[in-house]
Amino acid sequence: MRFKMEGEKFEKFRPRIFSKVLFPTDFSEPAREALLIVKNLEGIEEIVLVHVVDRGETQEEIDANVRESKKKLEDTAAELGRAGLKMKVHLRVGSPPDEINSVAEGEMYR
């Protein structure tokens, strides 16, 4: 599926509209498909990849989920890096909406 965006307002801001993209992922198949779309957008200078671990009843389970997520983020970042994209990676533990907003606020002026 290709999205076609056009018009006077779009053309005015288009050169940098997607220069920095915040991409939260849960590593699901829909997230993977969305990342392929983002990866192929023109004008992207940087992708900020975010995953939030929000599962685990014990500290050991949380630590295991963090290790697994770290590996997946590293693999994803490596793949995007091979495509020539600049990457930042954030791995957080907590509430996904809160942590994603925190990363977005922190990255907004960088």
SS3 20: strand
* DSSP category for residue 19: S
pLDDT digits (tens, 9 = 90+) for 19-40: 889 999 999 999 999 999 988 8
List of domains in the chain: 18-107 (3.40.50.620)
Task: Judge whether residue 11 has pLDDT over 60.
Answer: no
pTM for this predicted structure: 0.79
Residue 60's pLDDT band (cuts 50, 70, 90): very high
Q: How many residues in the chain? A: 110
- Which residue do the tokens 């050169």 mark? 15
